[in-house]
Amino acid sequence: MTKLDLKDTLATIKSRQWMLSDIDWDAPGAELIREDQRENLKSFMADLMWIEHVGARAFAGLALHAPTEELKEIYRYFHAEEQKHANAELALMKRWGLLEDGEIPLPGVLICHSLDTMDKMADTAPFEYQATIIPMLEVALDGALLKFLTDEVQDPLLKVVLNKINADESRHLAVGFHVMGMLSGARARRTALVLFKILHSTRALSLRHVIATLPIIGNMREELYAMGLDGSRLSVAMDRYRKAGERDPRLESNTYYKIVRAFSRLVMERHPVWSRVEAVMIAYAKRIPKDRWPQRPSWSEELTYKTAV
């Protein structure tokens, strides 16, 4: 794999910025949404929008701890781009008549806890941890969830929006894989220290947070199956992460990558033991009363589908 020139990458990121106002939200095609799609589509889009914010919060944390100024600035752009993606997805929901005026849909219980977990950990978790986890989440988002929308929704404006989002996500992944290569070859002492810091950074979390956050990808997989999508598509998307070591041999000496890769294999291959554990955690999470769910982060009050943003 060719190493990125981060200076050139940053220049490309700056030159490829776009705004919601660049899109004609009144273009024909919204009427192609079928009535039988609306309920599932609203739930799916709401989860998608909040997953973008999980990524955004992680990028904000990465920007604090990145080892170079160029990388810090790249992550600041990525943070803003994930927020913009969420706003674009809200704008699509509004276009399709899925939202009341001013409505911001609430996340489901697992995403609610995942967002709160990221909000509590992002600024203190080790750079190596977040730089390894986020590309795994992004390949799932880019390779399966957004592809599901393309297959299921006939509105031609969706393709316009997703082309912009996918172009951003491809740069996020390119930087993500490059950084994982940079982190390869850490000495055993450094690796042990990072793993200790990861455990230490979870001190603000309750057991409920851990149980409700850990199976988030498995829950996404099952929701795709429930909506009639071949859930193996998510597994195929995850292959991009798992096979990254073949494209960049440096990753085979990256302990963090190998740990996350092994976990993704457990999830995507529905390992019989892990699947049972996962099912128990998901069932537990879905029984958590709403009054015990974390509150939405204060910054989420700024969410909007208005094209002036």
Contact call for residues 114 and 208 (beta carbons, < 8 A): no
- Residue pair 1/251 in contact by the 8 Å Cβ criterion: no
Task: Kindly state the helix (H) or strand (E) to which residue 303 belongs, with its residue range.
Answer: none
Domain 6-26+35-289 sits in CATH at 1.20.1260
- Residue 12, number of CB atoms within 10 A of its CB: 13
Q: With bands split at pLDDT 50, 70 and 90, how would you rate the model's confidence at 31?
A: very high
Residue indicated by tokens 């491809």 = 170
Mean pLDDT for 64-79 is: 95
Residue written as tokens 């990388």?
Answer: 71
- How is the chain split into domains, by residue range? 6-26+35-289
H helix runs in 66-126, sequence order: 69-95, 109-121
H or E element, residue 98: none
Q: Give 261-309 pLDDT, tens digit per residue.
A: 998 888 877 888 999 999 999 999 999 999 999 887 766 666 666 655 4
Mean pLDDT of the chain: 86
C-alpha to C-alpha distance for 240 and 140, rounded to whole angstroms: 9
Lowest pLDDT segment from 56-65, 76-85, 198-207: 198-207
68: left (phi over 0), alpha (psi -120 to 50) or beta: beta
Confidence label for 132 from pLDDT (cuts 50, 70 and 90): very high
